[in-house]
Amino acid sequence: MVNVAIQSTGWAELPETSRLWIYQADRELTDAELDRCMQEFDVFMGEWNTHGKKLQAGYAIRYNRFIILAVDEDQQYASGCSIDSSVKIMKALSAEFNTDFFNRTTIVYKSGDDVVSLPMIDFKDQLAEGKLNADTVVFNNLIQKKAELDANWETTVTNSWHAQLLR
């Protein structure tokens, strides 16, 4: 699968220091679901605020399964309430699409041109069996800044938190 990124107006202008939240679907989203996400987030980004102050924010969707929200916290810090409002939307979309954006025990990795999901225990077993290895490309959703998205998000098992699964 080729990474055709969908992104909001203004995403490109957000500084590299912008804070990220990455939500990973447990499956590829359909075209209709992607359209729904864009509709929801186009509205939300225009209204997203913290204590009445508008956030400079944007979103990107990658590999039809990762929804990435970003806020320029150099302009305005995202408060707990503003973060909660984004989580509320993600929970609603999760229920609407019958998919899980919050399961942190699913590992997503690349197998050739495909993006594949496995439960963490199965991923660990495949590493032990040699079907996957330290050079397998995984998605490190723990990154926190926009600059890391292109530099460190898609990385090898060895260069991410996933390395602990090699033991």
Mean pLDDT of 9-18: 92
Q: Is this prediction's pTM over 0.75?
A: yes
**Overall residue count recorded for the chain in this entry:** 167
Name the E strands within 16-65.
19-24, 49-50, 53-54, 57-62
pLDDT per position as a tens digit, 138-163 = 999 999 999 999 899 999 999 999 98
pLDDT bin (cut points 50, 70, 90) of residue 118 is very high
Instruction: Indicate the domain borders of the chain.
Output: 6-97, 106-166
pLDDT bin (cut points 50, 70, 90) of residue 119 is very high
